[in-house]
Every structure is written in C-alpha cells, then in structure tokens.
C-alpha cells in the first residue's frame, strides 16, 4: 500500500454492518497499482449517525465514498444533487464530493449493465425476466428499461405489491408496459418462452443457502443469458443449472467489481484494472 502522508486522499464505505466488505481490498489494490496517493477505509455508521457522518466526510474534504445498506435511500436528502439515473432509481451507492458539492450516483445499476455488456450481451429491445422486487431489482429494472429493454417482474406472493409498485414506476417513467406477477413455475415458464435474459435479483441461493435456486432447472435453455446478482457463492445453484442447460451465465461478482470500478473512476478520473479488483474480491469468497 502507498505510504500514508498528509497529502493522502481518503475514500470510504459507510454502512451497517460493514465487516464483510470487500471494497477496501479492491480499491486499495487498484490505488497501489496505479500509483495514486489514496486510501480506502470502511466506517460502520448507524442510521441515527448518518447525517453527522456525511457532514464530517464533507468537512474533511474526502473526494468520495460508497454507501451501502441501510443508507442508500436515506442518504439522498443529505446530498446536494443526484445524477439522472440515481434520481429515477431513488437510491444512491456512490457519492462524489466536488469542492463541497455532494452528488449521488448509482453505480450498482451501471455496474450491472457494464457486466452484461462486457460479456457481449446487449439488452436493448429484449424481453427480460427479473426475479425479485427489492433494492437490487429496482436498480436492475431501471437501468434495463433505460437501455431500451422490456422487463417482466416476478416476485413471491407475500411481496407481490412490491413488484406491482416497481412495475408501475418503470411503466410511468419510460412509457412502456411492465408486467408484474407472482413468481411461480408456471408464470416464469410463460415469460421465459420468449425472454432472452433471466436475472435473479433475490437473495435465494446466497451463501449459506447455496443449494437452492429461484428458478426450476427444467425452465432454463441454451439460448438464454442468466445473470445472478448474488456474488457469494460466485457460482450459485441457478448459474450451475443454467450452465448445464447450455446458457450463458454472468455472476454477481462481475457486477460488484464494475460498480467499484465506476466509483473509482468518478473519484480519481482513472480506470482501475478489472482483473486486479476481481482477484482481490475473490480472496474473500
């Protein structure tokens, strides 16, 4: 790591909890590789401490920071402005401090899209089945609709209203019809009859429950691209089943790394090496 001095710029992650984060390892390796006099640290910040933390980081002249659960929505009133995508999504995971002006961005969404594009998958004009209707699904749905795709949102019956509300927001924002339905084998099968991409934006299959999948294996097919936003494990049961069916697969680890890369670029003006940041993240898995 670069020697810390009085000139070293400090970037950070704020959230609660933050003990599990891979972000310091990814960013510090990239700072070191590029010879930048920056350091990245993680701060545990409770909800009632959020305003004080934001003011403190602003006062200290920190160039920027990442925001994770549970602050991605509540941080918004504490910022000066949002980029258009973050405004639409209603959530922020990256803040840039430009001489005291705080701007919120959502690199979760742009990182998801970049991970897809890097695999040669262009979602524009395609029908996409999205499983889930929480924060991850919201970011994914908005960026896909913004790109010109046609999302179909499926969620468990207990939270079907989440899916309906999300679908209504996207429909209004982009003037397209976005169906919302219960996540059942029958409904998913019907959507996948002519969908080209399947996205898991639920927590089903996340470690330690990595033997389960939100989609029955028999519904997966070779002409499908399957993207699981879960990154632990790197290859979920869903991705294993998709690979066995001959489908292209994309792991959530790529989304994680790309959202970090895009934040890094906003703070430093330089693009860090993807492979280095990914290798650092994978050391934790």
Q: Which one is predicted more confidently, 135 or 9?
A: 9
pLDDT tens figures, 152-191:
999 999 999 999 999 999 999 999 999 999 999 999 999 9
Q: Which CATH architecture fits 110-251?
A: 3-Layer(aba) Sandwich (3.40)
Residue positions annotated with a catalytic role: 72
What CATH number does domain 9-105+255-282 carry, 3.40.50.720, 3.40.50.620, 3.40.50.10860, 3.30.30.60? 3.40.50.10860
Sheet arrangement for strand 225-228: 180-182, 150-155, 127-131, 197-200, 225-228, 248-251
In the predicted structure, residue 285 carries a pLDDT above the cut 90: no
End-to-end CA distance of the chain: 22
Over residues 131-149, mean pLDDT:
96
User: Which residue intervals of the chain bear CATH 3.40.50.10860?
Assistant: 9-105+255-282
CA atoms of 225 and 102, how far apart (whole Å): 37
DSSP H/E element including 82: strand 81-82
The fraction of the chain above a pLDDT of 70, given in percent, is: 99
Model pLDDT, residue 3: 85
Relative orientation angle of helices 107-118 and 252-268, to the nearest 10 degrees? 120
Distance CA 236, CA 15 (A): 25
- pLDDT tens sequence across 224-246: 999 999 999 999 999 999 999 99
Phi first, then psi: what are they for 86, rounded to 5°?
A: -60, -35
Alpha carbons 22 and 24: distance in angstroms, whole number: 6
Where in the chain is CATH 3.40.50.720? 110-251
In eight-state DSSP terms, residue 47 is G
What does the chain come to in residues?
285
Spatial separation of the C-alpha atoms in residues 157 and 108, rounded to whole Å = 26
């Amino acid at each position: 790591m670069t020697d810390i001095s009085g000139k070293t710029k400090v970037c950070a992650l704020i959230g609660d909890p933050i003990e599990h984060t891979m972000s310091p390892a990814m960013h510090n390796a990239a700072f070191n590789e590029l010879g930048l006099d920056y350091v990245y640290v993680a701060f545990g910040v409770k909800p009632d401490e959020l305003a004080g933390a934001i003011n403190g980081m602003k006062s200290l002249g920190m160039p920027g920071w990442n925001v994770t659960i549970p602050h991605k929505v509540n941080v918004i009133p504490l910022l000066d402005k949002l980029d258009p995508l973050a405004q639409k999504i209603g959530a922020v995971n990256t803040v840039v401090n430009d001489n005291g002006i705080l701007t919120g961005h959502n690199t979760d969404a742009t990182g998801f899209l970049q991970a897809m594009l890097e695999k040669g998958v262009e979602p524009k004009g395609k029908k996409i089945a999205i499983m889930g209707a929480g924060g991850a699904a919201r970011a994914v749905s908005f960026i896909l609709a913004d790109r010109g795709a046609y999302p179909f949102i499926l969620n468990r019956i207990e939270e079907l209203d989440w899916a309906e509300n999300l679908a209504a927001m996207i429909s209004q924002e982009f003037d397209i019809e976005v169906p919302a339905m219960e996540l059942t084998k029958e409904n998913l099968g019907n959507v996948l009859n002519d969908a080209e991409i399947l996205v898991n934006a639920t927590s089903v299959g996340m470690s330690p429950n990595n033997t389960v999948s939100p989609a029955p294996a028999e519904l997966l097919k070779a002409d499908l691209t399957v993207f699981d936003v879960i990154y632990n494990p790197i290859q979920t049961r869903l991705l294993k089943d998709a690979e066995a069916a001959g489908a292209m697969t994309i792991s959530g680890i790529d989304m994680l790394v790309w959202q970090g890369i895009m934040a890094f670029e906003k703070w430093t003006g330089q693009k860090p090496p993807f492979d280095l940041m990914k290798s650092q993240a994978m050391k934790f898995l």
